[in-house]
Amino acid sequence: MKAFLFPGQGTQKVGMGCYLREEYPGLVEPLWQEADEILGYSLTRLCEEGPVEELRHMPVTQPAVFLCSYAALVAARAQGAEPDVVAGHSLGEYSALAAAGVLTWREVLQLVHRRGELMAQVQEQVDGKMAALLGLSIEQVERACAQVRSDTGEVVEVANHNEPLQAVVSGQTAAIDLLVERVTTMTDARATVLRIGGPAHSSLMGSATADFVEYLQRFDFRPPRVPLISGSTAALYASGEEIKRQLGDQLVHRVRWVDVMAELKRLSVSRTWELGPGKVLSGFVQRSLPGVSTYRANDLPSFLAGVTGW
């Protein structure tokens, strides 16, 4: 079994996707040109040149990460690579929708642009952020969050459970800062504030969720042509309508990536290909699923090795 995995926000950087446009100009370049027309600004230029501050703006970040992922998908398929199952981490689930034929890439581009706009609005209204915690079990993280909520009355919640001893918390800045201070001084855990604006996958995104659910109704979600794993439940989606319902709640629900890894193991996946910028998901696979081969689209030798070995 072979899996295509798609990364989420936080993997963006200036220059991402450029080598794919150089290696596969006839396939990839038209995507960027059309995306610029759809969005009404030059996503191509921002990905090539930055500045990084603008690339981190969510209405730019989310289309940029998606388009890099989709361009890698197009290049991979042109070489004959086809997945047996697909999954995406948070924003990456939208790339997986395109890979599974649930929506066209143009529809997904519009969705992630709107998603980024709505999340940016919350970011302007709420002083919030996210932090990764390494070295604590999910039970320890949940207890620490509960204690900070009790002590401060502020929001701090588990946003992502990525590995058995790695989780991401999301919430109001003061609560996140207090949580990080406590766990790093009272335990051996390490903490890193993430380069993601706003408190994603927390109840603070409630106002964005309501508007996004309304926007989702404009699109016809088709049944996946390739098995597609939900990042919220780690189960295979059964229908397009189920996907639409879950995406409507995704912004306020936890990403259960550790359970997605367990589902890949249950399906006997032996190779994964991370299609998009960065190498975070490949690292999760290497640590959680030893023996599974990993390939990355952000690295040309790895990309070509994956194509050759497919």
Backbone dihedral region for residue 247 (phi beyond 0: left; psi -120 to 50: alpha; all else: beta): alpha
pLDDT value, residue 307: 64
Q: Which residues contact 53 (CB under 8 A, 6 or more apart)?
A: none
- The SS3 call for residue 228 is strand
Please say whether the beta carbons of 9 and 251 come within 8 A. no
Q: What angle do CA 182, 188, 194 make, to 5 degrees?
A: 65
**137 included as an active-site residue:** no
Rounded distance between C-alpha atoms, residue 92 and residue 90, angstroms: 5
Q: Which CATH class is domain 127-193?
A: alpha beta
Q: What is the pLDDT of residue 300?
A: 66
State yes or no: is 201 an active-site residue. yes
Tens of pLDDT along the chain (310 residues) come to 999 999 998 777 777 776 787 778 888 889 999 999 999 999 989 988 888 888 888 999 999 999 999 999 999 998 889 999 999 999 999 999 999 999 999 999 999 999 999 999 999 999 999 999 999 999 999 999 999 999 999 999 999 999 999 999 999 999 999 999 999 999 999 999 997 878 999 999 999 999 999 999 999 999 999 999 999 999 999 999 999 999 989 999 999 999 999 999 999 999 999 999 889 999 999 999 999 999 998 776 776 666 666 6
The pLDDT of residue 50 is 82
What pLDDT score was predicted for residue 174?
97
Helix (H, G, I), strand (E, B) or coil at 281: helix
pTM of structure: 0.94
Of the candidates 90, 95, 202, 282, the residue annotated as catalytic is 90
Of 233, 271, 244, 242, whose CA–CA distance to 94 is shortest? 244
Q: Give Cα separations from 125 to 43, 121, 204, 234 (angstroms).
A: 26, 6, 10, 31
Residue range(s) occupied by CATH 3.40.366.10 in the chain: 2-123+203-309
| Tokens 């960065």, residue located | 278
**Catalytic choice (89, 113, 161, 201):** 201
The topology under which CATH files domain 2-123+203-309 is: Malonyl-Coenzyme A Acyl Carrier Protein; domain 2 (3.40.366)
Helix (H) or strand (E) holding 167: strand 166-172
Query: Start-end ranges of CATH 3.30.70.250 in the chain?
Result: 127-193
